[in-house]
Structure 1
Amino acid sequence: MLTALISLGIFGTILLFMYACTTAYRVIAPRGVDRAVERVQNWSLPSETEQLEIMRQDSLSEIPWLNDLLRRAKKLQVLRTLHRQADCRTPLGVFVLAAVGLALSGFVLALSMQQTIVLAFLFAGLLGAIPYTYLLWRKNQRIAMFERQFPEALELISRSLRAGHAFLSGLKLVGEEATDPIGKEFRRLFDEVSMGVSLPQAFNNMTNRVDSVDLRFFMTSVLVQRETGGNLAEILDSLSALIRQRFELQLRVKALSAEGRISAVILLGLPIVVGALLFKMNPDYMGLLFADPTGRILATVGSLMMVVGAMMMKRMVIIKV
């Protein structure tokens, strides 16, 4: 049984490595004459019965069956939304296959080390969550950068309105002058409105791509102003000032909670560091923790308690403003 699981893990790892090499070659390979010839060969005028597709269809995977699965599975909608908010060019199928391969490799590795089934599942879950953690980190970094640029973008739109330009001209100005990610998102917003999409729908699409509370305030302010009237330039100036004040308050909260966050890091890292040092100094003494059945149970319970403690400490030190 153990030999079959190890063989299955090695086979899955080889398949994942081959798929990663193929994807990397397609990304790195130059798109020159060969790609142009391929497009010319595949070009054909649509017939009268064919309907042109003007909606952009994002490819979630280069594997057809996996692409269909990711599109149809409702439970993977959260993962698709996270991938879109992270603005990652790598197809989502790569992350799904990487998560499966890492989880399977971790499970087989834990069983080969004669660990308990609970610890094997825990180790598989930790390794399998690495791609999801990367997407979540990339999304948070992108949203943080967007929110730092947002007050300046609001002021730029406000100055454009005071100069006599239309609101859409202000959106276009931000898309042309601002850097990514805010410049890219405002260019998408302006392009969608220019192609005939209603402004509320274009704003909804933008908020789906950028999960920001400040952006939702901006959307609500603009839509309410279009219905009731008012000075939009003053509204944007007030919103920009409010966002800047909120940033200042967040920095104060971060400074006050620094001691608690450092304490959490020390408490979580201390058992791991001490265990590694003891294992290096006396492998036989620490080896009982993984060789003996009672030791494996204690290691499993301790790992679970550390995870629960990390979650509780994170909720204690993080304050939403």
Structure 2
Amino acid sequence: MDNFINQIGLYALPLSGSTLLAYGVYQLILDLRKSDQKRVLDRLTDRVRSEERKSADSILRRRYEPKTAISAALAKLSVVAWLQRALDQACIEWSAPRALLNLVTLALFSFVGLYMLQWNPIVAACIAAAILLMPLVVIHVKRKMRLNRMMNQLPDVFELMSQALRAGHSLANAIQLVGQQLPDPAGTEFAIVFQEQNLGVKIEDSLKNMADRLDLMDVRFFVTAVLIQRTTGGDLAAVLDNISAVIRDRIKLFGQVKALTAEGRLSGWVLFALPIAVFGMEMVVNPDYGRVLLEDPIGRYCLIGAGVSQLLGLAMIQKIVNIKV
């Protein structure tokens, strides 16, 4: 049975390597073709862009560029749509179908390679799963940090727009001013809205795209206020001032809640790290005692169960202390 599995791995490794090489060449050709699409988009926008707005340009190029058959098929999957939204929210210049294909290919290739090196199949599968999941964790962390920065910037955004409207500027000019004056993420997101208008998209649709892209309640309030004002009329500057004041109060309250729940969050991380630290010390002080958990089949199952329990406990504690404001 082992010889049969080894023969399968022996044939699978060259096949995986050749597949990975062919996929890399395909992506290289695709990148070379995209340079022409970039020049076309630059001519359409007809303006010189600064380094701070490259992320906005990349999102627009990714949205309007033609898709391959594989990308079009993968784009219909809900997980790909979720990943694309997370990439946009994290301002990472990746295409979700491409990123998913790259991660899955790398994970499979890593598993086959480790198995051919006589690694334990369970360990090889865990490493391959970690290779697949770690980039997703990084994307989630960057997304969360960027959305928090966006939420903290919103009061300044609305105050700047309110002042611009009172000075006689149009809504489009106020959006352009925010895109030019404020740093990422607010500047980048509003620059995308302004550039979409230059490409012929209605301002209402551009604002709805931003609300869907960011998925922040405060941004949806702003978009709803703008849509109502453009339909029924009213003082948009005063509405923006009110929204800005409400957001500032909510940010202040959120900071107080975060300070009050800091002890609970720290307790969760301590309880999560303590068994790992104790096991590491045990492997240093008395390796024979700790090696039983690694070598004995029952010990390995105990480690897996303990790891799953630790993750569930950490998730439950974080859920308890994560109070919505």
TM-score scaled to structure 2, two decimals?
Answer: 0.76
Q: Is 187-196 or 305-314 further displaced after alignment?
A: 187-196
Residue 275 of structure 1: aligned partner: 279
Counterpart for residue 45 of structure 1: none
**For 2:17 and 2:213, how far apart are their aligned partners in 1?**
32
State the Cα distance separating 1:148 from its structure 2 match.
1.8
> Partners of 2:314 and 2:14 in 1: how far apart?
33
**Aligned residue-pair number:** 297
TM-superposed deviation, 1:2: 5.5
- Report if aligned partners of 1:290, 1:296 keep a CA contact under 8 Å in 2: yes
| Alignment partner, residue 130 of structure 1 | 134
What is the alpha-carbon distance in structure 1 between the residues aligned to residue 79 and residue 85 of structure 2? 11
Residue of 220, 229, 232 corresponding to 1:228: 232
- Does the CA-based 8 Å contact 1:143-1:211 persist in structure 2? no
Structure 2: distance between partners of 1:282 and 1:18? 49
**Following the alignment from structure 1 to structure 2, what is the Cα–Cα distance between the partners of residues 64 and 127?**
26
Aligned alpha-carbon RMSD (Å)? 3.7
C-alpha separation between the residues in 2 aligned to 1:7 and 1:63?
33
- 1:62-114 alpha-carbon deviations (Å, 9 max, x no partner): 99564344334444221222222222124432454224423663687599554
Identity of aligned residues (%): 31
Q: Which residue of 1 aligns with 2:89?
A: 85
TM-score (norm 1): 0.77
**Which runs of 5 or more structure 1 residues have no equivalent in the other structure?**
30-34, 41-55
1:129 is paired with a residue of what secondary structure?
helix
**1:266 correspondence with 2:270:** yes
Deviations 1:108-163 (A, max 9, x none): 75995547x5x775554344211211221222222122222221111011111111
CA contact (8 A) 1:102 1:128 kept: yes
1:14–1:152 Cα change, 3 Å: farther
Indicate the residue corresponding to 1:46 in structure 2: none
Structure 1 residue 315: Cα displacement:
0.4
The 1:177–1:6 alpha-carbon spacing in structure 2 relative to 1, beyond 3 Å, is farther
Contact 2:9/2:115 (<8 A) preserved: no
The unaligned stretches of length 5 or more in structure 2 are 41-59
Cα distance, 1:138–1:312 mapped onto 2, change above 3 Å: same
Closer, same or farther in 2 for the Cα pair 1:283/1:133, shift >3 Å? Answer: same
Change (3 A) 1:166 1:59: closer
- Looking at secondary structure, tell me which structure has more helix per residue: 2
AA partner of residue 222 (structure 2): F
Aligned partner of 1:160 in structure 2 is 164
The change in CA–CA distance for 1:84 and 1:9 in structure 2 (over 3 A counts) is: farther
Cα distance, 1:302 vs structure 2: 1.1
